[in-house]
Structure 1
Amino acid sequence: MVAICFYFQVHQPLRLNKLRIFDINGNKKDYFNNDLNNGIFKKVSKNAYIPMNSLILDLINKTNGNFKVAFSLSGLSLKQMEEYHPETLISFLKLKSTNNVEFLNETYHHSLSSLFSEEEFHQDILKHKEEFFRIFEKEPKIFRNTELLYGDIFDNIISSHGFEGVIIDGNPILKLGKSPNFIYGKENSNLKLICKNCELSDDIAFRYGKSPKENLLKEIMIKINNLEEEGADLINFFMDYETFGEHFPKDSGIFDFFEELILELNEKEFEFLTPSEILEKYNVKENINLEE
């Protein structure tokens, strides 16, 4: 039976104060608007992170430990959890303790350094690894770049950090005429590529609310069943964690929809896997090159 992987991205940028050229001499104390950052982070935590973490913990229990997910927490999001809302960090640590949740590595600043500077890209990855280990006492095995950017030119740097796999966008795979529902390898690298199923991910992240949730749930299940019949190994739902509670508020029914989807998948005995478990279970379908 086709495996299901849910991965969520968590990031909050640091908003800047409005500075004038005359502030360069130090007339203004902070470059960052701490009050605004504090307020936004607490709001998003209240609306999205805390209730969704609670729901995921509940679903792990309701499925007798079958449900599993993965997260990528940017370094800036971790920094703000510690400074502004420790309760949010505690809730992620509670999820870690279930052993049903995998955490991925990314750039500390959620930056586009990979496009401009190899050294800065390397340092951004390293800083995230160090901060993540300080808090979670674990070293991630899987890497994801900002916006799932990936190309062969990044292989050497990513491989040098010891990662086993990379989360990538599914569209470049589709452009090669291939399915995102398999693991792909590299000819000159040990890295394995785990591809986002853009259509099914976007059904939740962007198309929720455009039709009754009962209809959307039915449509998603039909697509999953069709992919299974076609011989897909896995289906990767990758999306922004703020989809739940921020992009779509609680009164839209988004939390209930997600719970119904997970419970139906579990009832039909689909297997939930983390990215690392996917690499352990499935063989590489073929080697590919992605130059851009």
Structure 2
Amino acid sequence: MKTICFYFQVHLPMQLKRYRFFEIGSDHYYYDDFANEANVQRIANSSFLPANRLILDMIRSSHGKFKVSFSISGIALELFEQYAPEVIDSFKELAETGSVEFVAETYSHSLAAVFDPEEFVQQVKMHSDTIYELFGVRPTTFRNTEMIYSDEIAQMVYEMGYSTMLTEGSKHVLGWKSPNFVYGHSYIPQVKVLTRNMKLSDDIAYRFSDWSWSEFPLTAEKLMSWIKSAEESEKVFSIFMGYQSIGERQRPESGIFEFIKALPLQALANKITFSTPAEIAKKFNPISPISVPYPQTWSGEEKDLSSWTGNDLQTEALQKLYQVGERVRLCSDRALKRDWLCLQSSDHFHYMTTKPWNGFTVYPNYESPYDAFTNYMNVLADFMDRVKGQFPSSIENEELNALLTTINNQESKINELEKKLLSTSPTD
């Protein structure tokens, strides 16, 4: 029986305010609170809240047979807590149904997997802990920022305990193969990889309201007929997109909510089910391994990192940011650590791209990529001065590494002693 795997990315960046050169050293608050509040509340009311209500109704009316998965960045959760806590409440309602899977990612929706492996590991753990605290479930499936995936990154993720991962079904990786199967890692047989069906996903996310599209209008009946008519051996149809597609990118007047609402009935009529990534991983074995030696994403025609690393502006900003990572991790300043997370969001570097793009995130008020770069680098200059105040640049990396080793050894010793204390404590 064929099954559909719906996955939605939920992310909003912490937008930076206009930060001038002369403010460096005197103003350590970097965020545009008014823009953030307006952005969060607008998207919450146009997309997240009505979409969550719709999905909750669909799950209940289908007796749990309609299923979806989400990855919600830690930064987005912080913004919801501050400006729209009812969004978190609505996700908690979805979690209680048992028909929703929460997928792990990096806490700040960052590029750490590419630039700072140690930071990557810490952020994934931080995100998993946050999801557990809020929704009472521990993620078992992983999807990296913007679906960044490579053999090496997948190995790091596997070593963190995840054996199911989501990525793009890009043509340069799959070649003649269909995305409608479960694939395996190139050299770790335990890892299962679900590949996004680009056509079906983009038909909904991008082309749904395009009158010039040859398949317009897209209906639930038409979508299910396409899936039903696929080869009998093709069982898994992974439809992955940004959650803002429902209600924000595709406006309510386009009929997007009616389309989504009609999916369960049409699926039932065509004997098509809905599954979460974890369920698919349990049910299906990989048909073959796929090799991804270089990082791929779900962005652009090239499906590579060029939307974030494609020009000198982006490269300069990323190098400057991640060169202080070791020092930040040694700091105890909570405000500094929070800024470190917020400044890593991939959106800041996307705003610097000189490529055409049509991202889901609302483009901030920058006149050009160079304007975005200048503003970010002013913020980063102040941030780096604060880091140097904690650990001056005169301290060599070797000394920092030695200090970090000492701290890690102390933490291990403390954990070991705590375990001994618990094992020897008298019972009531």
TM-score (normalizing by structure 1): 0.94
Partner of 1:180: 179
Partner of 1:119: 118
Q: How does 1:144-223 map to 2 (within 5 A)?
A: 144-172=143-171, 175-189=174-188, 190-211=190-211, 215-217=217-219, 218-223=221-226
After superposition, what is the alpha-carbon deviation per residue over 1:262-284, rounded to whole angstroms, capped at 9, x for unaligned? 32113323111100000111111
Partner of 1:12: 12
Contact 2:228–2:270 (Cα < 8 Å) also in 1: no
How far apart in 2 are the matches of 1:120 and 1:9?
21
The alpha-carbon deviation at position 187 of structure 1 amounts to: 4.5
Partner of 1:245: 247
* 1:225 is the counterpart of 2:228: yes
How far apart in 1 are the matches of 2:174 and 2:137?
36
The alpha-carbon deviation at position 13 of structure 1 amounts to: 0.2
The alpha-carbon deviation at position 188 of structure 1 amounts to: 2.8
Partner SS state of residue 286, structure 1: coil
TM-score (normalizing by structure 2): 0.65
The structure that has the greater radius of gyration is 2
Partner of 1:22: 22
**Alpha carbons of structure 1 residues 173 and 69: separation in structure 2 relative to 1, 3 Å:** farther
Contact 1:66–1:266 (Cα < 8 Å) also in 2: no
After superposition, what is the alpha-carbon deviation per residue over 1:33-90, rounded to whole angstroms, capped at 9, x for unaligned? 1121111101110010000000001111222221000000011111111111110000
The alpha-carbon deviation at position 186 of structure 1 amounts to: 2.1
Out of 264, 270, 273, the residue aligned to residue 272 of structure 2 is 270
**Alpha carbons of structure 1 residues 145 and 158: separation in structure 2 relative to 1, 3 Å:** same
How far apart in 2 are the matches of 1:177 and 1:132?
37
After superposition, what is the alpha-carbon deviation per residue over 1:138-190, rounded to whole angstroms, capped at 9, x for unaligned? 21000001111110111232012111210000115754321111111124322
The alpha-carbon deviation at position 214 of structure 1 amounts to: 7.5
* 1:259 is the counterpart of 2:258: no
How far apart in 1 are the matches of 2:137 and 2:224?
35
Q: Which runs of 5+ in 2 are unaligned?
A: 295-428
The residue type paired with residue 203 of structure 1 is: D
Q: How does 1:134-149 map to 2 (within 5 A)?
A: 134-149=133-148
Partner SS state of residue 155, structure 1: helix
Q: Which runs of 5+ in 1 are unaligned?
A: none
How far apart in 1 are the matches of 2:101 and 2:95?
7
After superposition, what is the alpha-carbon deviation per residue over 1:82-112, rounded to whole angstroms, capped at 9, x for unaligned? 1111100000000000000000000111111
How far apart in 1 are the matches of 2:155 and 2:196?
22
The residue type paired with residue 55 of structure 2 is: I
- RMSD of aligned Cα (Å): 1.8
Q: Where in structure 1 do 4 or more consecutive aligned residues deviate above 6 Å?
A: none
Partner SS state of residue 248, structure 2: coil
The alpha-carbon deviation at position 220 of structure 1 amounts to: 2.1
Range with bigger deviation, 130-139 or 12-21 = 130-139
How far apart in 2 are the matches of 1:155 and 1:208?
32
How far apart in 2 are the matches of 1:288 and 1:261?
31
Partner SS state of residue 70, structure 2: strand
Q: Greater RCO between the two (CA within 8 Å, min separation 6)?
A: 1
How far apart in 2 are the matches of 1:95 and 1:202?
25
Contact 1:181–1:233 (Cα < 8 Å) also in 2: yes
